[in-house]
A and B are shown apart, each in its own frame.
Chain A
Amino acid sequence: MSTVTDKIVPEPDEQAGRRGFLAAAITAGAAYAAALAYPVYRYLASPIEQSAAMSAVTEVALKDAQKLSPGSVLMFKFGTQPAMLIHHKDGQWVGLGAVCSHLGCTVQYQPGPNRIHCYCHGGEYDPQTGANIGGPPPRPLKKYVVKVTDEAVVVSRA
């Protein structure tokens, strides 16, 4: 008469079969989960992809910006990020990114003292070149190429 344990311990063949089944079940389950997770991931990531497409722009035409009076600034979006078009009193045009290189605040051009200042942590930049000249910023502002025409000011990536 066979004992109870004889029945419970599976034959080597059967054991391999079970292991194979388990592996197949786990693989199928993982594939199933991935098939469900993929559309959900793409759905949630949609705006990231859209802004990636937006920030891929290389040129922004600012219509009628050539009428900007000297000693003033125009804030605009270059792709997804804020930027400044400064018309200096000496007639010079400068295009700079407005994102502080320190912690990403938006900087401000002040025509009175003729400086670029960041109120978050007191960063200072040169309004002609965008160079970091005071406070914590480690790098200059992003500099753009500016072309003035009769209808618009075209700002493009350097």
Chain B
Amino acid sequence: MGTAVYNWIDERLGLTEALTFAKKKTVPLHAHSFWYYWGGLSLFFFIIQALTGILLLVYYRPGADAFESVRQITYQMHFGWLIRSAHSWSANLFIFSIFVHMFSVFFMKAYRKPREFGWFSGMGLLSLAMVFGFSGYLLPMDELAFFATKVGLQIPGSTPVVGPLLADMVRGGPEVNEFTVQRFFALHVVVLPALFLPLLGLHLWLVQRHGNAVPESEAAKPVAERKSIPFFPNFFAKDLAMWLIALNTLAVLASLFPWDLGKPADSLAAAPPGIHPEWYFMSAFQTLKWLGSWFPGALGEFLGIGVFNVGILLWLVIPFYDGSTRSGQRGRRAHYFGLIVVTAVAITTIAGYWSVR
């Protein structure tokens, strides 16, 4: 009976093919194998975001009622505080995992041929994740959300020529108000998932197609000396164990450090002291602050945006100028570029927190 059912499904969906593929798929085993988990962890936190997001959608009301509905979720609905806290914490862990994943890919040089599109799609997913974060941050419409969005939109707003129109279109007017919440909501729950999911599908398909990249030190070894483990069930089981650790970490953070809901946004109130963006925007925030004080006026703004755009562009197109698989001069240069970026991001982030402490 079981066999008959299996055969019936197999004939139509090709289960055996998938199983054969899963059995044949292997994951390299070496000193840096730990970094292979971070893509899967990012995926895990994305799934948590989807599930907790759907739960929040059950009671959330965008527009003028936004703060009140989040207040109800946090203080009236059973475990609403926990669902919301998990969504906020998981958002941060999600972006953190993507960053770790990105830097590990960078330093393993996993963006090289034939994995260029893995790198590009991954950068696309990171950008979308950051827009997810930015748009989601406004939705509770408390004081912090209000000012973070107000300030955050000044940056694209200062782009020459198109900036002001762009910022007005994003805000739905010259001010952050209920129209802004309404359109950020549409962006956050409809537009972004619709863009994210197909790109994620492509990204995951490319991983299956090309398999895991190995670091240069490993690639230099003769094939016979390289070790690997089967994806199913060995690596899969380890992956699940990592997911369990991730879930426990999230549970501890979300329940012991419940996410705060501030005062309702008041367009007449002054910005509270120590206001600052989320940590993943801190580096950009601090750099713009420094450039602004070194080069006052429009020049500073222009320079800041210029430095960022050029930096991000260079980072994005790295497969094109570091495509060589021999570890020569060019390979080393990309490595130094990566180290400079990590150092600069770390210094500006720490400095940013230092200045608002």
Bound-state CA distance A40–B80 (Å) is 9
Chain A nearest CB from B48 CB (Å) reads: 11
Q: Assess the A40–B76 pair: CB atoms within 8 A.
A: no
Q: Assess the A43–B76 pair: CB atoms within 8 A.
A: no
| Contact of A44 with B76 at beta-carbon distance under 8 Å, contacts A39-B82, A39-B83 already known | no
Chain A nearest CB from B110 CB (Å) reads: 34
How many residues on B have C-beta within 8 angstroms of the other chain's C-beta atoms?
9
For the residues of A in contact with B, the DSSP-based class is helix
A45 at the interface (CB under 8 A from B): yes
0/1 interface trace, chain A 34-52, chain B, CB 8 Å (1 if under): 0000011011111001100
B55 at the interface (CB under 8 A from A): yes
Chain B nearest CB from A70 CB (Å) reads: 41
0/1 interface trace, chain B 31-55, chain A, CB 8 Å (1 if under): 0000000000000000000000001
0/1 interface trace, chain A 42-81, chain B, CB 8 Å (1 if under): 1111100110000000000000000000000000000000
Q: Assess the A44–B80 pair: CB atoms within 8 A.
A: no
B220 at the interface (CB under 8 A from A): no
0/1 interface trace, chain B 72-93, chain A, CB 8 Å (1 if under): 0000111110110000000000
Q: Assess the A46–B80 pair: CB atoms within 8 A.
A: yes
Q: Assess the B77–A40 pair: CB atoms within 8 A.
A: no
Can you list 10 A-B contacts with CB-CB less than 8 angstroms, sorted by A residue number?
A39-B83, A42-B78, A43-B55, A43-B77, A43-B83, A44-B55, A44-B58, A45-B78, A46-B78, A49-B78
Q: Which 10 A-B pairs have the closest CB atoms?
A: A39-B79, A42-B78, A46-B77, A43-B79, A46-B78, A42-B79, A43-B78, A39-B82, A43-B77, A43-B83
Q: A39-B83, A42-B79, A46-B76 given; name 6 further pairs at CB < 8 Å.
A: A39-B82, A40-B83, A43-B77, A43-B83, A49-B78, A50-B76
